[in-house]
Structure 1
Amino acid sequence: MSITNDILRARATGSVWLWLAAVALPLLLIAPAFWNGYPLLQWDTGGYLARWYEGYLVPSRSTVFGLYLHMGESSSFWLNLAVQSLATLWLLQLTLRVLGLMQTFRFVAISLLLILSTALPWLASMLLTDIFAGLSVLSLFILVIGGYRISGIERSSLFAFTAFAAATHSATLGVLFGLCAAGWLVRPLLGKRIPLAGLAHGSLTIVAGGAMLVMANHALSGQWAWTPGGYGVAFGRMMQDGIVARYLRDHCPRESFKLCPYRNELPATADEFLWGNSMFNRLGRFEGMNDEMSYIVVHSLADYPAWQAGAALRAMGQQLLHVATGEGTNGWIPHTYGIIERYIPAQLAPMRAARQQHWDIDFDDVNWLHVPVALASMLALVALLGHALAIRRLDELTLLGATVTLALLGNAFICAVISGPHDRYGARMVWLATFVVLTALARAFGRDDPADDASAAA
């Protein structure tokens, strides 16, 4: 009788924890938005919001993500934040379950530490694609490594989620493609550690995501086309590295480029060139300059291969250190304000009343914690992988650590080489390293949930 009472008490305690987690964690994940009084906005948010209304393609703005935002407009976008919060918690607990480490207290503790010490709640509270970059790495990992351990409904949901995430941003699709390619390369060495069916299933999400993007582009613009703008963004990064100025100096005497008259007054940064008041505006922006920019990008790669390789490696290294939270989330985002005013006027009053629009958000204090945690997490992740290799332990947690490491490197390479180093690109991925480290610590030092122990005893 005593044992039965202990079991019942343990189960009751576990149920309380579970209910508290179910209610509190989704709200805590979007606490920054509640504090702000409105979902957080960013420089790029307006470009995505406008896709439904403008009906044409613009550089680097996914129509798929634009449609996703449009679905939440009637709720003042709180529906979108609810989706982002619940998807985050779903993938965290599903990852722990696939690793054999899902216990209520452990899940709650890890989630709370991520909320307190990383950019995760700020990403979940923002109307931007960035939250899906990190989550898609977890969903792809579960689909490939643990797909056989979850239900058919969960597998289908993971497939749809990963494909959607891939379609929200070309860099996210690139990272996922790189992870699948790495999986195929190492599978002959790892064998059953990477199930063939799971790898094939995961790889198909990339195809589905690409098809989803092209179909959405056609539905909104009438064009069977990929999202434009890749050459223009890459051109900006090469200009920032001095490669464009050198190319123009070498070729303007013989070739007539629109930029030749401006070759000695190019802006110092890609952001200033593409998004500031530069000659790029006077020359027709992407529509007027795309052919010239793509020509210079391709031919400068051939003319200066060593310079390009060195610049890419330096930018990648710098990107790994750019991990601060909040880049572009301030009061100066006039384009996004203009899009909301033009197309969603009902949102003007709550948007203007938010703290962000009154410049009341300061990320300096937040980053006193976030940046050290992010950098320490990446170092600890490398140490964990080194230890696993030293003792020849290749379990699923080690595979997750390797996956996250490759994702961080791939993200740093793609974003830095194409766009140049930005804190935003690092912050959207580096919380994954903290998650892996916390999970490893929980496995090493944590105890099982009493309710789970009681269930096992019963």
Structure 2
Amino acid sequence: MHSRRILNMPNGAPPTGETPISTRSTRVLYTRAAAAPWAWIAAIVIPVLLLAPAIWNGYPLLEYDTGGYLARWYEGYLEPSRSTVYGIYLHLGKDSFFWLNLACQALLTLWILHLTLRVLSLAQPLRLLAIAVILTLATALPWLASMLLTDIFAGLGVLALFILVVHNGKLSTIERVSLFLYTSFAAATHTATFGVLLGLCCAGWVVKPWLGRRLPIAGLIQGCLTLVAGAAMLLAANYALSGRLAWTPGGAGVSFGRMMQDGIVARYLNDHCDKIKLKLCPYRNQLPATADDFLWGNDSVFNKLGRFEGMNGEMEFIATQALAAYPLWQTEAAVEATAEQLVQVGTGEGTTGWIPHTYGIIERYLPEQVKAMRAARQQHWNIKFAAINWIHIPVALTSMLLLAGIALAALWRRRLDDVELLAATVCVALLGNAFICGVISGPHNRYGARMVWIATFVVLIAAARSLANRYGSASRPA
């Protein structure tokens, strides 16, 4: 009908204020042709930016906990807080000196960043590249992508779950299946990540009556099923490597450490050692000041009493009994730990030149890599995070404040668009992460840094949308 009207106009001119279909088609083709080179540039440059720290280092970045994951394939038993799923993932890349693992991490990051922009109708190659550059310079993201550790999957898991639940209908079948498998894998790599994703699914069902069709039931069901699949994946990996159908151990021991750090364990021992005979009673006045010193110190009482094998039962008993004995103190400690964890967001914790356990695991099981590992800049103490954190910490804290502002403004208006719903989701994820990690393990910069970069990402998305609306910039296929 529209084309007939154009043909009937004098000289074939369109009605005033209307654009001929052929002209619009030409513009779309021109826009796609102009975007194509940038799409290739973004696809090549962004993974390189994400892996820049590892490339500069000359070897994948290592962390204090890396060795525990690496050893899972070789040692045949379950280690507290060390996922066998991530251990198998690392083992698959050992012949490439783990560069294959880093490539996967970089490409997965690129994919999920792009997919997030696409479902929000903001996918432009140049925009994606600009956001990636800012995230590379101002957040922990490239350090996470360049490291042999589960942390990169925590923030990406939140974004993947959001896309799968909220924008399920915008995905192709292969994208939906791939995102489902990735989210399941992310959940299986760390119990804290599993907990955050579980909390988001529970929150989704709670707010479903208010958000209606914005949260499709099919999407919520798929989101929950990713956790079922992730749990099955972890149990299967644990059984395959250890012969035990069990969850990754360590929760009680880690919680005990946090309670000890808060002084709760010492109080419990002083109150009950005259009635209950516990291994720790003779050492109740020798407990170290921090959980890290207790669990990982060389001359710790924990080592003398048999570490996790000798102390798991007693630590679980004390943690459970102390929880019931001092509920108000536990509540106050939990609130303080959550608040402290929210602001502990510095990059680089545990990524130093002194990681003897990880070195020992590589020397024992991967001797062919020792030379390359020892030659890396990290092992020569050449990575200095103090200067980096002069940028990263203020950016992270500012991003969280702006993110909360975006979410609260939307709630005040009682209307959430797609970007504001993502902002609210990330706020819940950050709070959940701070609670789980702060209360169970005690506050650490590493736990905050692995998640807070997605706050910066969402703030950049909101800024990009504002600029697009202001200057009339349409989304171009990326």
> Is the structural similarity TM-score above 0.5?
yes
Aligned to 2:304: 282
Aligned to 1:336: 358
Aligned to 1:102: 123
Distance in 2 (CA, whole Å) between partners of 1:314 and 1:375 is: 17
Greater mean alpha carbon deviation, residues 365-374 or residues 101-110 = 101-110
Aligned to 1:297: 319
Aligned to 1:422: 444
Decide which of 362, 371, 395 is 1:373's aligned counterpart. 395
Query: 1:389 aligned to 2:415?
Result: no
Partner SS, residue 452 of structure 1: coil
> 1:102 deviation in Å?
1.2
Deviation per CA, 1:180-238: give whole Å up to 9, x if none: 00001111121111000000000011111011000000000111111111100000000
Query: 1:138 aligned to 2:159?
Result: yes
> 1:12 deviation in Å?
3.7
> 1:373 deviation in Å?
0.1
Greater mean alpha carbon deviation, residues 39-48 or residues 111-120 = 111-120
Aligned to 1:266: 287
Unpaired segments ≥5 residues, structure 1: none
Aligned to 1:248: 269
Aligned to 2:95: 74
Query: 1:452 aligned to 2:473?
Result: no
Equivalence map 1:45-84=2 (5 Å): 45-84=66-105
Deviation per CA, 1:416-443: give whole Å up to 9, x if none: 1111000000000000100110000000
Aligned to 1:347: 369
Instruction: Give the percent of matched residue pairs that are identical in Structure 1 and Structure 2.
Output: 66
Deviation per CA, 1:81-126: give whole Å up to 9, x if none: 0000010110011111111111222211111111111000000000
Deviation per CA, 1:38-74: give whole Å up to 9, x if none: 0000000000000000111110100000000000000
Q: Structure 2: which amino acid aligns with 1:353?
A: A
Distance in 1 (CA, whole Å) between partners of 2:66 and 2:36 is: 39
CA RMSD of aligned residues (A): 1.7
Deviation per CA, 1:295-323: give whole Å up to 9, x if none: 00000011000000000000000000000
Distance in 2 (CA, whole Å) between partners of 1:345 and 1:118 is: 34
Deviation per CA, 1:258-294: give whole Å up to 9, x if none: 0001101100000000000211000000000011000
Give the conservation status (yes or no) of the 8 Å contact 1:13–1:451: no
Distance 1:361 1:52, change over 3 A: same
What TM-score do you get using the length of structure 1 for normalisation?
0.96
Greater mean alpha carbon deviation, residues 386-395 or residues 263-272 = 386-395
Q: Structure 1: which amino acid aligns with 2:476?
A: D
Distance in 1 (CA, whole Å) between partners of 2:331 and 2:300 is: 27
Distance in 2 (CA, whole Å) between partners of 1:451 and 1:214 is: 43
Distance in 2 (CA, whole Å) between partners of 1:144 and 1:5 is: 36
Q: Structure 2: which amino acid aligns with 1:393?
A: R
Decide which of 150, 155, 168 is 1:147's aligned counterpart. 168
Query: 1:189 aligned to 2:210?
Result: yes
Distance in 1 (CA, whole Å) between partners of 2:97 and 2:225 is: 34
Query: 1:27 aligned to 2:51?
Result: no
Distance 1:291 1:2, change over 3 A: closer
Give the conservation status (yes or no) of the 8 Å contact 1:104–1:449: no
> 1:405 deviation in Å?
0.3
Distance in 2 (CA, whole Å) between partners of 1:423 and 1:324 is: 5
Aligned to 1:239: 260
Distance in 1 (CA, whole Å) between partners of 2:188 and 2:305 is: 30
Q: Structure 1: which amino acid aligns with 2:375?
A: A
Query: 1:316 aligned to 2:338?
Result: yes
What TM-score do you get using the length of structure 2 for normalisation?
0.92
Larger radius of gyration: 2
Distance in 1 (CA, whole Å) between partners of 2:425 and 2:67 is: 32
Decide which of 174, 177, 192 is 2:195's aligned counterpart. 174
Distance in 2 (CA, whole Å) between partners of 1:451 and 1:134 is: 25
Decide which of 229, 233, 251 is 1:212's aligned counterpart. 233
Partner SS, residue 56 of structure 1: coil
Distance 1:398 1:343, change over 3 A: same
Greater mean alpha carbon deviation, residues 20-29 or residues 64-73 = 20-29
Distance in 1 (CA, whole Å) between partners of 2:24 and 2:437 is: 57
Query: 1:120 aligned to 2:141?
Result: yes
> 1:10 deviation in Å?
4.3
Q: Structure 1: which amino acid aligns with 2:451?
A: M
Q: Structure 2: which amino acid aligns with 1:64?
A: V
Aligned to 2:251: 230
> 1:2 deviation in Å?
9.9
Deviation per CA, 1:319-342: give whole Å up to 9, x if none: 000000000000000000000000
Distance in 2 (CA, whole Å) between partners of 1:295 and 1:216 is: 28
Partner SS, residue 476 of structure 2: helix
> 1:7 deviation in Å?
6.5
Greater mean alpha carbon deviation, residues 170-179 or residues 382-391 = 382-391
Query: 1:16 aligned to 2:37?
Result: yes
Q: Structure 1: which amino acid aligns with 2:50?
A: L
Deviation per CA, 1:135-193: give whole Å up to 9, x if none: 00000000000011110100000110000000000000000000000001111121111
> 1:4 deviation in Å?
8.8
> 1:407 deviation in Å?
0.3
Give the conservation status (yes or no) of the 8 Å contact 1:41–1:127: yes
Distance in 2 (CA, whole Å) between partners of 1:220 and 1:324 is: 34
Give the conservation status (yes or no) of the 8 Å contact 2:60–2:146: yes
